[in-house]
Amino acid sequence: MTGGPFDILFEPVRIGPVTARNRFYQVPHCSGMGHRYPEADFALREMKAEGGWAVVSTQETEIHESADLTPSNQGRLWADGDLDRFRGLTERIHAHGSLAAIQLAHGGLHAANRLTRIAPYAPSHALVDADDPIQARAMDREDIRAFRRWHRDAAVRARQAGFDIIYVYAGHDMTLLQHFLLARHNHRSDEYGGSFENRLRLFREVIDDTREAIGDRCALAVRLAVDELMGPDGLRHDHEGQDIVAALAEVPDLWDVNLSDWSNDSQTSRFSQEGYQEAYVRFVKPLTTRPVVGVGRFTSPDTMVRMVRQGVLDLIGAARPSIADPFLPNKIRDGQLDSLRECIGCNICVSGDNLATPMRCTQNPTLGEEARRGWHPERIPPLARAEPVLIVGGGPAGLEAAHALVRRGAPVVLADAAAEWGGRVAREARLPGLAAWGRVRDHRLQALRVAPQAELYLQSRLTSADVLAYGIGKVVLATGARWRTDGVGRAHRSPLPFLATGRTVSVDDLLDAPALALAGEVVVFDDDRYYMAGVLAERLAAAGASVTYVTPAPLVAAWTVNTLEQARIHRRLVEVGVRLVLSARLADRGPDSLTLACVHTGRTQTIPCDTLVPVTARLPVDGLWHDLSAQREAWADHGLSSVERIGDSLAPGTLAAAVHAGHAFARSL
């Protein structure tokens, strides 16, 4: 497409000695695969190059055995023996006309060296920032010389492996170079500490070392966190963040600028909007003639164009949007905006790295399966025999199954009992901060509505007799799940009879009636430990209820540590006046009270409770499955060959799991 409103995004950009073919830049991001699953990681990166990203970067890549981030699955370039593996990556990226970038990293006090057992390095004596009960040692001058040598050697290896852009990385409060820059970590009194110039010294030296090591074939990029959102206690974009850029303005070939720490840089859509980093990075371009790349969970081509035209960025950086849709650049180029899979900002991808497992994506069910299963996000093999399929349930699993089956050429009948499409997505997207989650429904529904072989029926509650009467051979049940009200979860594995005393309102009651207000004292009991209890407590408090949040876990919304939201959820609940009771399980209940027991000591306390909202576990809605199973002998007479359950109707889980289940079913036929 030429002469269109987005043409500026497809202009080439010179980065030192190399040229990016367009302005789409996949910035360094983890994958949860790294050195343990390199083939999976490389297939994921290659998919980005095929999809039109002009620059495709690795995740942070450890430069030395003293930068050991075990158990995290990052890249490793410790020795020459790692070269062949990375050559395979750069060749695959180059085959699609893209540039390959590598982010060299030493974690400093962030690297606990759990595998290598080397005493961690830091500017000054300090506890490591993991939970390990060990300290990092203050580096002496010989240690500093050794670190410079390790970084230089890694840069040489990166050049030999065929990388076009090589990073010097000082960001996310996870790198030794940033630790030297920050006064709270650097307490030195020699030439590497104290004044701003002294704290900048090692950064300058490593940049110079890297330039010398890579020569004039590779570009040198600096990745810098310009603000930590800590006020005067941290780096600020209008103070030393600006001073660093001004001091080194023309030194690198590229500035990659963002926020620190990672939870600030990769904020979820619940707490930030597209382009949220603009106010912090806008100062960079006026200080340098070098190209600037930044991020902000960009999904709108209009926003991308504005960033370039207004001189905020030269290159549109992305991690999560490139995960949700590796083919985003090509789709914009070809005018296929209706087919964009927009990132919903849920950070289920981030949880993969935090759990040291291959990442997943709610919007892109093929993520992580490119190598293992040979799944491609844009290509799916046509069916040899395009037999019709009946799908009961139009939530995330059913919509994805229908969407993928239509792409395979199958006629699909999709029926849902509700008055709107989306199932749990439609209901949850109405909760505070979760509107972007509606994209899971919208992307699939938009494609199905224009597919001639898709029949869509709302307000169609099917019985087993209805299913048999259809005479369709393959039936898929994606009927979802409902939240339990009997207390069963992690802390209580059996139903709690005493909950029958007093009023209980289920999660589904609140989701089905968004305007439902609860009076008096409301207790939200969170044994799910993900987002639901926190967001419901927030909503109820905003509606005027007096809310107490109780959980057996030691943290509010404990699992959201993995999605980088936990601290923000805790803070939000405090801000809206929710009382917090941690490490407590349910012990007894009266008509207007609830007795809690400490999970550690068993000591009890009684709190007011007019209404209990248990957010514990869910049960599959599988009545139709059981009815059909009881009539299995009649299947053949009605032309029915198979009935399968997918998604929450089989085993309740995350939205990502439901979408993946729908896609996996469609691929399995």
Q: Which residues are catalytic?
A: 30, 169, 172, 265
- Single-letter residue type at 324: A
The secondary structure element, H or E, covering residue 400 is: helix 396-407
Q: Is residue 216 packed enough to be buried (19+ CB in 10 Å), middle (13-18) or exposed (0-12)?
A: exposed
Are 281 and 257 a contacting pair, CB within 8 Å? yes
Report how far residue 84's alpha carbon sits from residue 64's, in angstroms, rounded to the nearest whole number.
Answer: 17
85 CB neighbour count, 10 Å cutoff: 17
Beta bridge partners of 103: 60, 167
- Single-letter residue type at 654: T
Beta strand segments in 375-447, E: 389-392, 412-415
Sequence-ordered list of residues with C-beta below 8 angstroms from that of 199, at least 6 positions apart, any chain: 180, 181, 182, 183, 186, 192, 193
SS3 504: strand
Within 13 A of 540's CA, how many CA atoms are on the CB side?
28
Report how far residue 665's alpha carbon sits from residue 646's, in angstroms, rounded to the nearest whole number.
Answer: 8
DSSP string over 152-221: HHHHHHHHHTT-SEEEEEE-TT-SHHHHHH-TTT----STTSSSHHHHHHHHHHHHHHHHHHHTTTSEEE
577 CB neighbour count, 10 Å cutoff: 11
* Token pair listed for 27: 């910035």
* Token pair listed for 110: 């962030």
Q: Which residue has the tokens 């209990």?
A: 612
Report how far residue 615's alpha carbon sits from residue 596's, in angstroms, rounded to the nearest whole number.
Answer: 16
* Token pair listed for 287: 């200080």
Residues, the chain:
669
The alpha carbon torsion through 468, 472, 477, 479 (nearest 10 deg) reads -70
Is the preceding peptide bond at 17 cis, omega within 30 degrees of 0? no
Alpha-carbon separation of residue 413 from 387, 445, 459 (angstroms): 11, 13, 14
SS3 279: helix
Q: 440-454: b or e for each residue (b if 16 or more CB lie within 10 Å)? A: bbebbbebbeebeeb
* Radius of gyration of the chain from its Cα atoms, rounded to whole angstroms: 27
368 CB neighbour count, 10 Å cutoff: 27
627 CB neighbour count, 10 Å cutoff: 14
